[in-house]
Amino acid sequence: MKPTPQNNPTAHNTNVDHTEWARAVWCSAIALAGCIITLTVAWADESVVISTHNLSASGPGTIRALNENRVCIFCHTPHNASPQAPLWNRHNPTTYYRIYNSSTTDARIDQPGGDSKMCLSCHDGSVAMGLVLNRDEPIPLNHPFMPSGRSNLTNDLSDDHPIGFRFDRQLTNRDRQLRLPDLVSREIKLGDRGEMECTACHDAHNNELGNFLRITERQGALCNTCHSLDGWSSSSHARSSKTVPATLFNGEVPQWQTMSDVACGACHVSHNALQPERLLRARSFDLCIRCHDGISGRDIQSVLNQRSGHRARRFIDVHDPAENPLTMRPHVECVDCHNPHAVRDNPAALVSPLADGSPRVPPAMEFIQGVTLGGTVTDRANFYYEVCLRCHADNPAPVRNRIIRQRDNAGNIRRDILPTTASAHPIAIAPRNLNETPSLLPEFRNLTTISCQECHNNPDARQLGGAGPNGPHGSRFDFLLSENYETQDFTMESPQSYALCYRCHDRASILSDESFEFHRLHIVNGRSPCSSCHDPHGVSGSRSQHSNLINFDISIVSGARLFNDTGTQSGSCTLTCHGVAHVNFTYGTP
């Protein structure tokens, strides 16, 4: 039915009592408001009225107006509002902000956009919180400006999650550990063009989840909405039920207690990070060691200060995830060998080999950068030695008491273990002829390759029968070795002196000269260490001159230093050792 003057109270009819009609409309509005209030009470957890954004005199927070009882006026007004947003009642800041910067970000970050500036009109501390458009004087509050603390972001946003950039396909194509925009939860409110601003994660009217978040931070749900980190879902840090130590939170009380619940929040904070780059709660080494002190996790701390080791404590904040191993400054930190987003425990004895028998990276070292045998950088190391070659290849880190040899690669182990080497321990390639090594114990004859961790390890590691952590964190023996290995001349032979060698090689076979007819003469009578003739990693050069890992220690062996392999267990030497000159000294039958 079309409206007529009789049935339409808004029609221009001189017979209608406009006063009565206005009264009726006003009563209807009051009734509607009552319904809204009823709904607000029913959904109190979602109401701005009971949140700290209620700055009225009756607000529940520590910041309150002295006599203003209206709730919405601090942000909204029905008249004379700013056109920037619906009914906006605030003066936005004109501040120039210091923005987030990181060597690993692929986003093109700019100054905060309009939506963020609405938040920053209070939260950068530069604009009085009571300064609104529809009043000539600021509304008096007990704290006129945002007090110092976590809520006051200041004009330095470099320690806060980046805003002012587009989260679009161009970004996710550059950074494969970000989810495609189409797969991001609809709870995250990006701008029309994918703008990432404060309002993407925060809803100023709803504090049901705390910190006005749109998605809970529990179990990393908020972070994982946009970030898709390699290995995270199956990592120890994502699944651990252990209690997170309070020392991680710098006096704050965590909302949850277990590592799996705290998740990303154990190491990262979204605002006011003490370590701005990558938003860390503390320096990366400190974060690791606060858990891995034997109380909350594996006791790495107890092995770091032993006789030899990876001295991570000396190189704090030197590592950069974007560094190039071929040119970086020598250093070692936990994150050089471990990816904290992907690290997993390894209850097995050692490293599960690939199908071809090659020692792959253990679960604790997955998704970490490495250097290949060819000398190129790979973002994901497949083999254990590729992680080690980050620091022990073409840009070698200094090693204390390193032995200088006849053919010396200056600490570049990559060259020592190449398939083209004259001889090498089977680190990267299978042994060429096991018949030339009769001293090898039976249990090692079927191994095609060995891991670096077979020799470089914590002597008290679980995989060696102890109770300590696996891996080359520290050792009471030189060169970060799992067993003793004497390299000083005139060492008295004993099972302890060359315990590392005797793990794989039968001492009785060595001393009975089964592989070399003068072994006993050299190491027992002459008291020459194994290292005087043998290079444990490998040696490049001619196979006829450097078979059987022959590469003389020049501090012990002098003269011409010539060795010539003339066949199985036969050869000749021309050199000077212990003052005795060997001139084409032969052994065995060519």
pLDDT for position 40: 38
The Cα–Cα gap between 97 and 120 comes to 10
Q: Please give the average per-residue pLDDT across 420-441, as a whole number.
A: 89
The Cα–Cα gap between 194 and 507 comes to 69
Q: Are 570 and 445 in contact (CB under 8 A)?
A: no
Q: Please give the average per-residue pLDDT across 12-34, as a whole number.
A: 38
In the chain, the percentage of residues whose pLDDT exceeds 90 is 78
pLDDT for position 463: 86
C-alpha distances out from residue 281 to 78, 98, 106, 229, 344, Å: 42, 20, 22, 19, 22
pLDDT for position 313: 85
* pLDDT at residue 531 greater than cutoff 70: yes
pLDDT tens for residues 541-566? 999 999 999 999 999 999 999 999 99
pLDDT tens for residues 377-389? 999 999 999 999 9
pLDDT tens for residues 43-75? 445 789 999 999 999 999 999 999 999 999 999
pLDDT tens for residues 302-316? 899 899 999 888 888
* pLDDT at residue 277 greater than cutoff 90: yes
Q: Is residue 78 very low, low, confident or very high in pLDDT (cuts 50, 70, 90)?
A: very high
The Cα–Cα gap between 503 and 488 comes to 20
pLDDT for position 360: 83
Map out the domains of the chain as residue ranges. Answer: 47-214, 417-587
pLDDT for position 338: 96
The Cα–Cα gap between 385 and 453 comes to 9
At 568, list the tokens: 């199985």
Q: Please give the average per-residue pLDDT across 93-112, as a whole number.
A: 96
* Torsion from C-alpha of 164, 170, 175, 177, nearest 10 degrees: 90
Q: How many CA atoms lie within 13 A of 87 on its CB side?
A: 8
pLDDT for position 252: 85
* pLDDT at residue 393 greater than cutoff 90: yes
pLDDT for position 45: 56
Q: Please give the average per-residue pLDDT across 80-96, as a whole number.
A: 90
Q: Please give the average per-residue pLDDT across 465-494, as a whole number.
A: 96
pTM score, whole prediction: 0.87
Residue type, 562: L
Q: Please give the average per-residue pLDDT across 123-147, as a whole number.
A: 96
Closest residue by Cα to residue 188 from 205, 161, 213, 210: 213
CA angle 222, 224, 230 (to 5 degrees): 160
Q: Are 102 and 157 in contact (CB under 8 A)?
A: no
Q: Please give the average per-residue pLDDT across 200-221, as a whole number.
A: 97
Q: Are 385 and 417 in contact (CB under 8 A)?
A: yes
The Cα–Cα gap between 329 and 332 comes to 10
At 588, list the tokens: 């065995």
